[in-house]
Amino acid sequence: MRRAPLLDEGVRLGWVWSNGADAAGWEPDEPIPASARAGGFVWRVLQAAHGRGDRGKVVLNPKWYAPLYALGDVENGR
């Protein structure tokens, strides 16, 4: 699994993750309103990628989150 932090003005809200093939998702750091809003946004990104027939790894491209959020460097997850 690979993952990248989702940032709002430099504050990490959680992680966008992908297995690189057919699974991707959102893991918030804390159950706070900002993370919930970010989770809704990530859900829309995931739905759009699925609708286009994209593989899971495309959700780790920062262009899908700008300008509202920033996606940090991709790393190997747990």
Task: Give the separation between CA 60 and CA 62, rounded to whole angstroms.
Answer: 6
DSSP 8-33: ETTEEEEEEEE-SSS-EEEEESS--H
Question: What's the pLDDT at 28?
Answer: 95
Predicted confidence (pLDDT) per residue in 18-33, tens digit:
988 888 899 999 989 9
Output the pTM of the full model: 0.89
Tens of pLDDT along the chain (78 residues) come to 999 999 999 999 999 999 888 888 999 999 899 999 999 999 999 999 989 988 888 899 999 999 999 999 999 966
